[in-house]
A and B are shown apart, each in its own frame.
Chain A
Amino acid sequence: MDVALSPNGKRLMRVFFVLVIVFLYAPIAILLVFSFNSSAIPVFPLSGFTIRWYHDFLTNADIRAALETSAIIAVVSSIGAVALGILAAIGLTRRRFRGQLGATALLLSPLVIPLLVLGVSLALLFHELGMQRSIYTVMIGHIVITVPYTILVIRPRLGQIDASLGEAAYDLGAGPLTTFRRVTLPLILPAVVSAFMIAFTTSFDEYAVASFLVGPRQTFPVYLYAALRFPSQLPQVIAVAVVVLLGSLVVIVLAELWRRRAEARLEAPA
């Protein structure tokens, strides 16, 4: 006898699971449908098929500029966050020191701060420092948000690999940087790539903090938010939404599959 679920319970739960999946994906599917609908407002009945909205957003300079700004901010802040995350993860797993608990708590605490409060706080800091808001202030904020994720992804991987591999490299005369580059980094690379992807998608999609720190160059979420409040170009926005949404889904799934395969390969006996 199955101790967890009766056959009927299992059937019932399967139906429930399917219903929830439908609930989760239906709104996304609806966006997809209306992105090809020829009417300028998203209402039933559907009025005809068009790819005009996709064409429009590709030629919309504002949308392209916003996507570009977000991409630049996401790349720079993810590189920063991953670099800080690697340093912190190595420090936290390979060293024992006083105040370790406090350091860990500080490094992970941005996970629980309401982003609204972080955005306001950073805006006040930059105000006090007399710093103009720009893409750099957004990058700084995004690094704060994403560092904990990178630590959470990289630290377990470091815990899995044998610390004596690094020590062997030291014994063979490698300096700390060489050891990192030739031994540690290749072993944690799958986790580093995952951390980068998570940081990138988080930054690319981040609105709350960016809304307080953004300068004259709008990020994509800031553009999108304004477009949602005053929906004059709704179909175009829906079209770009669909592209970004499907793009991020594909990237996330591929990255996860790649990470599993890469880690399995590193695990396999040579």
Chain B
Amino acid sequence: MGAGEGGLTVEAATSEPAVAPRRRRRLRLTTPALLGLPVSWLAVFFLAPIAIVAAYSVDVLVLFPGPHGFTLSAWRSLFSGSNPYLHLFAKSVEMSLIVSAVVVLVAYPLAYFLALSGTKRKYILLLVLIAPFLTSYLLRVLAWKVILGDQGVINSFLFWTGLRSPDHPLSFLLYSRFAVMLVLGYVWLPFVALPIFVTLETLDRGLLEAASDLYASRLQAFVRVTLPLSAPGLVAAFLFVFIPTVGEFITPSLVGGTGGYMYGNQIVDLFGTGFPDWETGSVLALFLLAVIAVLTLVFVRFLRAGEVQAA
């Protein structure tokens, strides 16, 4: 360090006349210099691609060469009467609403226990709870495929123990809506505990003590104090599951069969190699994006409103 300091003094002494350019160089990086690259990356590889999908959805761009021009026909047919794609969307929404609700209901007591029971090892237990989420998604789906199949762990265990004859396996276990919802719930459960834990953890315990001093029972304190205060975490948790699962296609294609076919699978198929229809596919993709964007905006508003109220 001594040598470095020596160097610095010598430099400072000899570079007296060069102060002006040095000052210039000392100017801080400008905002465009910092944000230019990240923002343009997302403009080119995030916004522009979505614009191209929009162009395909109204036939301004087309897959097969030929005469074409702006038309809303694909959009109109999506919203006309009994479009099968809308039915499929409703089915996916229903499945992912159920999954999100169940998962949040299971995760809430876990987060409550970790945050409020006063256990000293809460962060380690939280890590144990969340760790499976940080491992490979496909491998966790694989595990369930091995477990649920006709020849799988559950059925072969039932045959082996004689609880069921090998001619009649429990075949609803795999390739069904049930399988899709079970696996989605399994995959997202660990993650959902996190936002709930964070809101409960920051909750002022003094409020609960105050409620208790005012003769509130634990249940009353929970319903009137804890639950309302943890609502933002609950809603966040719900959306954190709902948003990715409603457009899910990996799990349904691996364990869903025809019964578990979801909206996302339809989009993949429309862009697939069989009978590609990029126009309809683009409409479906943008519709999904729009629904999720609206949900996200409403949620952000809700959080803002909560902050204003708290302040």
Footprint of B on A, CB under 8 Å?
1-6, 9-10, 13-14, 16-17, 20-21, 23-25, 27-28, 30-31, 34, 41-45, 84-85, 87-88, 90-92, 95, 97, 103, 106-107, 109-110, 112-118, 120-125, 128, 140-141, 143-144, 147, 170, 173-176, 201, 205, 207-208, 212, 221, 224-225, 228-229, 231, 234, 237-238, 241, 244-245, 248-249, 252-253, 256
Footprint of A on B, CB under 8 Å?
12, 22, 25-29, 31, 34-35, 37-39, 41-43, 45-50, 52-53, 56, 61, 106, 109-110, 112-114, 116-118, 125, 127-129, 131-132, 134-147, 151-153, 156-157, 159-160, 186, 189-190, 205, 208-209, 211-212, 218, 221, 226, 243-244, 246-250, 253-254, 264, 267-268, 271, 278, 281-282, 285-286, 288-289, 292-293, 296
- A sample of 6 cross-chain residue pairs with beta-carbon separation below 8 angstroms, ordered by A number, consists of A4-B226, A87-B38, A90-B29, A117-B267, A173-B22, A208-B250
Question: Quick one: closest A residue to B183, CB to CB?
Answer: A27
Verify A42–B153 contact, CB threshold 8 A. Answer: yes
Within the complex, the shortest CB–CB distance from B226 to chain A, in Å, comes to: 8
Verify A114–B247 contact, CB threshold 8 A. Answer: yes
Verify A144–B139 contact, CB threshold 8 A. Answer: no
- Contacts of A256 on B, CB cut-off 8 Å? 127
From B34, B153, B278, A95 is in contact (CB under 8 Å) with: B34
- Contacts of B112 on A, CB cut-off 8 Å? 4-5, 13
Question: Quick one: closest B residue to A234, CB to CB?
Answer: B146
Q: How far is the CA of A122 from the CA of B50 in the complex (A)?
A: 8
Known contacts A6-B218, A253-B127; decide if A245 and B285 are in contact (CB<8 Å). no
Q: How far is the CA of A241 from the CA of B140 in the complex (A)?
A: 9
- Contacts of A253 on B, CB cut-off 8 Å? 127, 131
- Contacts of B209 on A, CB cut-off 8 Å? 3
- Contacts of A110 on B, CB cut-off 8 Å? 42, 46
Verify B131–A91 contact, CB threshold 8 A. Answer: no
Q: Majority SS of interface residues in chain A?
A: helix
Verify A112–B296 contact, CB threshold 8 A. Answer: yes
Verify B138–A225 contact, CB threshold 8 A. Answer: yes
Within the complex, the shortest CB–CB distance from A126 to chain B, in Å, comes to: 9
Known contacts A17-B125, A107-B38, A114-B247; decide if A45 and B116 are in contact (CB<8 Å). no
From B29, B45, B46, B129, A24 is in contact (CB under 8 Å) with: B129
